[in-house]
């Protein structure tokens, strides 16, 4: 998938932060592997540290690897802000060939990464290499289901941006494909549901700076086509949702796929 996070690093967490209950469950899960020790955690595709920084705050040592220098810069800035920079090692590199020694970590974690990596099963090989035998690998999955209004909203945008020549790639691997691959490698893989919540915004919030917010995700679309798609979509939204307070909501379930190496 051709998507670079360089342009969106500064806003990334504002758009995708986990709610505090979910973070609490995530930290509790990791602490349950730790038995009061500080773990050596590695996260390929760490991004801005959304799921890894809370682990450093909880006392674990984190090595984060990412191909985007701006995402790592943002992660480093947040680590300093949280006063955990001393427990974070941030490395520019590829998840399919981690710049990390064999068996040097107790826990490997990942989230929202595999669909960005064409040879995604190589990421699993790498985690298996760097995690100690008997260590743990966790894949965090957010399963989302849009409500009716959000489905309409997304479909209308999709129709207009595809009219401008953009083609949405289907996301691969699906959570079920990842599960199959985990079970093939680590037969005792189990799934634990950590949290669920509703996400969303009002139509008014959804329209606010709509084009500006989405532009970095559609870098290949030429400006005139882009403007036409955005204007057409906003016009459609005025007709479909005349009341700006209407909600565009959905539900999320956060699950952890947990394997012992
Ligand atoms: C959607 S973000 C997720 C960040 C973080 N894991 C989270 O859940 O918040 C995906 C991150 O993976 C990085 N990435 C994409 N392909 C990568 C690769 N082959 N190796 C390392 N990082 C990669 C991107 O630069 C981006 O920072």
**Residue from 4, 11, 18, 47 whose mutation best tests the ligand 1 pocket (most atoms within 8 A of CB):** 47
The answer for residues whose C-beta is within 8 angstroms of residue 261's C-beta and 6 or more apart is 128, 131, 132, 133, 134, 135, 136, 137, 186
pLDDT, tens digit (0-9, with 9 covering 90-100), for 77-105: 999 999 999 999 999 999 999 999 999 99
Is residue 54 lining ligand 1, measured as CB closer than 6 Å? no
Give yes or no for a contact between 106 and 136, defined as CB atoms under 8 angstroms apart: yes
Q: What is the CB-side half-sphere exposure of residue 213 using CA atoms within 13 A?
A: 10
Going by alpha carbons, the residue nearest to atom 9 of ligand 1 is 50
- Please work out whether the CB of residue 206 comes within 6 Å of at least one atom of ligand 1: no
Mutate to test the pocket of ligand 1, among 66, 96, 125 (most ligand atoms within 8 A of CB): 66
Question: Can you list the positions of beta strands (E) in the chain?
Answer: 40-44, 61-66, 88-92, 105-111, 131-146, 190-202, 247-260
**Rounded to the nearest 5°, which phi and psi values hold at 108?**
-110, 135
In the numeric block, the tokens 């539900």 are attached to: 251
**20-62: pLDDT as tens digits:** 999 999 999 999 999 889 999 999 999 999 999 999 999 999 9
The rounded radius of gyration (Å) of the Cα atoms in the chain is 20
Q: Is the pTM of this model over 0.85?
A: yes
In angstroms, what is the span from residue 235 Cα to ligand 1's centroid?
34
């Amino acid at each position: 998938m051709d998507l670079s996070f360089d342009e969106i690093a500064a806003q990334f967490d504002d758009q995708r932060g986990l709610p505090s209950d979910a973070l609490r469950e995530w930290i509790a899960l990791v602490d349950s592997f730790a038995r009061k020790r500080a773990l050596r955690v590695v996260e390929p595709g760490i991004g801005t540290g959304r799921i890894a920084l809370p682990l450093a705050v909880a006392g674990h040592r984190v090595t984060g690897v990412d191909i985007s220098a701006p995402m790592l810069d943002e992660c480093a800035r947040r680590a300093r802000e949280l006063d955990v920079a001393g427990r974070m090692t941030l490395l520019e590199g590829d998840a399919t060939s981690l710049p990390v020694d064999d068996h040097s970590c107790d826990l490997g974690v990942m989230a929202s990464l595999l669909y960005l990596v064409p040879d995604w099963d190589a990421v699993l090989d790498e985690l298996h290499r760097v995690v100690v035998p008997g260590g743990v690998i966790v894949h965090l999955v957010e399963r989302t289901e849009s409500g009716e209004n959000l489905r309409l909203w997304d479909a209308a945008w999709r129709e207009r941006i595809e009219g401008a020549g953009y083609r949405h790639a289907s996301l691969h691997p699906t959570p079920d494909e990842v599960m199959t691959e985990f079970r093939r490698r680590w037969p005792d893989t189990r799934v634990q549901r950590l949290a669920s919540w509703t996400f969303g915004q009002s139509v008014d919030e959804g329209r606010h700076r709509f084009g500006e917010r989405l532009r970095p995700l559609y870098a290949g679309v030429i400006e005139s086509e882009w403007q036409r798609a955005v204007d057409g979509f906003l016009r459609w939204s005025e007709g479909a949702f005349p009341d700006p307070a209407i909600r565009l909501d959905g539900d999320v379930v956060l699950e952890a796929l947990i394997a012992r190496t």
